[in-house]
Each structure stands twice: as structure tokens, then as C-alpha cells.
Amino acid sequence: MKADRFITPAAWALVTVAIVTLPASRSQDLGGVISFLTGFAILVAIFAILALGLNVQWGYTGIFNFGVVAFFMVGAYTAAIITKGPATTEYVRYVGGFGDKLDFIPFLDSEQWLPFLFGTAGAAIVAGALAFVLSIPTLRLREDYLAIATIGIAELLRRIAIEEKGLVNSDRGLIGIPSPLEDLVNPPEYKFIFFGVVVGLVILILIALEAGSRSPWGRVLKAIREDETTAAAAGKDIFNFKMQSFVVGAMIMGVGGAAYAYYSRSVSPDAFTHFFGTFLIWAMLIVGGSGNNKGAILGAYIVWGFYSITGLMRAYFADWGLEFLELRMSFLRDFVVGALIVIVLLLRPAGLLPEERRVSLFMQREDKQPTPPGEPESGPTGSRADAPPDREKGSGGQAS
């Protein structure tokens, strides 16, 4: 138990030390190091938004969404076509391009941030609407069928983005997406402004989710996660609550996509692979701790930190003459992400920051470790030793 308590701070400290010392030891230029760290922090924040969205679906409600990239991508593309102007040449074809029409509120002097507000809201609404439409056929399915169906939806949407030439400029993608408030400062300093914007978004979402998870609504979601039948017996409309959770999670993912589009200023289908857009986010949530919002953020920090550190290590491998490792580094870190998912689920299924068990503010916290979604209630050695998990377990039971 004692060693257990050290893992979380140790992981945090390791990533922090490495991410600061590695660039600092190679570059004498302090400004460059700070700029790198800011870029790193921005991506952590964007991934944190996505992981928070997934936490609403999986951590709170137990919805097994394997198509995170669908909502991520839809959010990014929606934000792009709302904030960009219309296409100017015939070689670039996409729908929309509303950026130049969004200055209709004169006193807000909009150019700098009105398109950004509309883009972010639009991304959330379109991703949420997509989730709403998809929830009707898929949410009643058993959870593993839901996972397969969501993978399929993500793949289909990626295909549509590539194959429908006039929709979002096919596989060349959209470039030149404006960023919020970019004219306020010089381009080199803009990163700091954007960092503030995206951290503001994370805090806003975090506050809303914390409030939501402690409200009666959040408690119903957790009840559904623990036992759908009992929740239904208590008079809760399971499907309705699941749909709300799915839509809210998807809207948050859409906002994450919008932030990604503003930051990278270009979106193309190659960026939205299943690995990068879905499985990496899952790794973050699992490592951080499903069901815990702070865990989702910590997971984004640890996993993306690890990703960036291995990127920095490449330069060292080149110096040390380990060319094989240098060339294979990007595959090696995918390997570690996959291994991390397996190891964490085997050894520490609750993640680095396990969910806080909180029934109500008026009741004392229990010391007992809560069980992460999908895990049995009765500790490591239950009465079900060596039994194949049975089919009804945790399933909505539509098909068995």
C-alpha cells in the first residue's frame, strides 16, 4: 500500500523533470525552452479536454465509445469552416467559410474573437448533434457492440472527409485557420495568449463537470454505470440519461477538436487516425484514472509528456550513434502506449488518481477504493475466481 502512494507523485515528477531538463540541456536559449514548454502545455490542455469528454461517457456512465476521433475530427472541421473565409481558388473546395461574415455585431468589434466563439460553439453543437443522431441506433446495444459500432462510425466519417471532394477539401485538408486574438501580439508571443485561452477552456469544463458529477444528474449516471437494472428499477430513464451523457461528452470532445484546429491552424484527415484520436485518449483516461476529472487531466499530462520526451530523446539517440533507435522511436512509443494500457489495466485498474467515492457531501468519505468501470465490486479475489466473465455482466442485455 505504501509503495502505491508513491507511484502517482513519482510519475508526475519524472515527466516534469524530464520535460524541463531535456530541452534545457540541449539549448542555451531560455526563450526557446519556454516556447517549447508552452507548446507542450497547450497540447496537454487540448488532450485534457478530449479526455474529460471521454470521462463523462466512460468514467461516469460506462459508455464504451471507441470513436472519440469522430467527434474530435468533426469539432476540428466545424471550427475550421466556421472561422475560415470562403474558398478563393478552384483548387480548394470546401463547404462554408463563414469567417468573413461574422462581424455583424458592431460594438463587439469581432474579427478577433467572434468567429472563435461561433466556431467553438458550432463545434460543440455539431459534435453533440452527431452524438444525438448516433445514440438512437447505437446506445441500446451491448457495450462491446457499441465499441465496434463507434469504431465503424469514426472510420466512415474519415472516409467521407477524404472521398467527398467538395466537402472539406479531401485529403489535402484545410489550412490557414485563424486563431483567436492572434493580432494582439507578435506571432512568437502568441503561444502564451493561446495557452491562456485553452487553459481557460479546461478550467471552465472542469468546473462544469465537477458540479455536474456531484449533482443528482451525475449520481444517476454513476448509478447507471454500476447497475443499469437497479437504476431502471429506481425509475430512471436509462436511455435518456445515457444519451445526455453521450451528447455532453461529445460536445466537450468537439470543443477539444476546435481548440486543436485553432492551435495547429490546419486540419487534414491524416491527423485524425484511430490511434492518435481515440486510443491515445483512452490511454490517457485509463492511466490517469477513469471516473476522476483530475485523473483525466493528469493522464493527458503523463501520456503526452511521455510522448514528447521520447520525441526529445531522438536527438540524443542520434548523438550516441543509435540510429536504429532514432529512426524507430515513433513506433517504439506507440509500443509503450499499448503496453501501458495493458499494464495499467492489469496492475492498477483504477489508474493513478482513482475515482473519489462520494455519495453526498453530507456523508463521510469511505476509505474503500472505488471500483473503476468494468471491474467487479468484490476486490481482487472474488467468488468468481477463474470463471469466464459471464455475458450479462454490466450489459444492457439487448443481445446475449
Partner 1 sequence: VVPESTGFAELLNKARERYPAVFDNLGTAALWVLFAGLLIAALILYTNLFVVGVIFGSIIALGAIGLTLIYGIMKFAHFAHGDMMMLAAYLAFFALTGRIVGEKTEVDLGWSLDRLPGATTGLGPLSFGYGLLLAMLVALIATVALFVALDNLIYRRLRQRGSGIVIFAMVSLGIAIVARSVILILWGPEPRFYVPGIFPAHEFPFGIKLKADQIFIFATVAIAAILVYFLLFRTRIGKAMRATSDNPELARVSGIDTDQVIRWTWAIGGALVAVAGVLLAIQAQLKPELGFTILLPLFAAAILGGIGSPQGALIGAMIVGITQEVSLGVEISIAGRDILPQILPLAPGYKFAVAFVILILILLVRPQGLFGAKA
Give the bridge partners for 1, in sequence order: none
Q: How far is the CB of 312 from partner 1 (least distance, A)?
A: 19
Query: Cβ closer to partner 1: 176 or 389?
Result: 389
Q: How far is the CB of 117 from partner 1 (least distance, A)?
A: 34
To which residue does cell 496492475 refer?
A: 347
Judge whether 278 and 337 are in contact, CB under 8 Å. no
Whole-angstrom CA distances from 135 to 4, 86, 129, 156 are 39, 32, 10, 16
Query: Cβ closer to partner 1: 159 or 214?
Result: 159
Whole-angstrom CA distances from 211 to 50, 253, 257, 361 are 18, 18, 23, 12
Q: How far is the CB of 268 from partner 1 (least distance, A)?
A: 15
Binding mask 361-380 for partner 1 (x = CB under 8 A): ------------xxxx-x-x
Query: Cβ closer to partner 1: 214 or 393?
Result: 393
**Contacts with partner 1: how many residues (CB under 8 A)?**
66
Judge whether 78 and 126 are in contact, CB under 8 Å. yes
Q: In the range 253-282, which residues lie near partner 1 by CB under 8 A? A: 274-275, 279, 282
CA gap 120, 95 in Å, rounded:
17
Binding mask 142-161 for partner 1 (x = CB under 8 A): xxxx-xxx-xxx-xx--x--
Judge whether 249 and 53 are in contact, CB under 8 Å. yes
Query: Cβ closer to partner 1: 112 or 395?
Result: 395
Query: Cβ closer to partner 1: 4 or 386?
Result: 386
CA gap 241, 42 in Å, rounded:
32
As a whole number of Å, the end-to-end CA separation of the chain is: 39
Binding mask 30-69 for partner 1 (x = CB under 8 A): --------------------------------x-x-x---
Residue 5, C-alpha cell as written in the block: 502512494
What Rg do the C-alpha atoms of the chain give, in angstroms? 22
Q: How far is C-alpha 341 from the geometric centre of its chain's CA atoms?
A: 16
To which residue does cell 476522476 refer?
A: 292
Binding residue for partner 1, selected from 17, 234, 338, 366, defined by CB under 8 A: 338
Binding residue for partner 1, selected from 14, 162, 193, 199, defined by CB under 8 A: 162
Q: Which residues bind partner 1 (CB under 8 A)?
A: 62, 64, 66, 137-138, 141-145, 147-149, 151-153, 155-156, 159, 162-163, 274-275, 279, 282, 286, 323-324, 327-328, 331-332, 334-335, 337-342, 345-346, 349, 373-376, 378, 380-382, 384-391, 393-395, 397-400
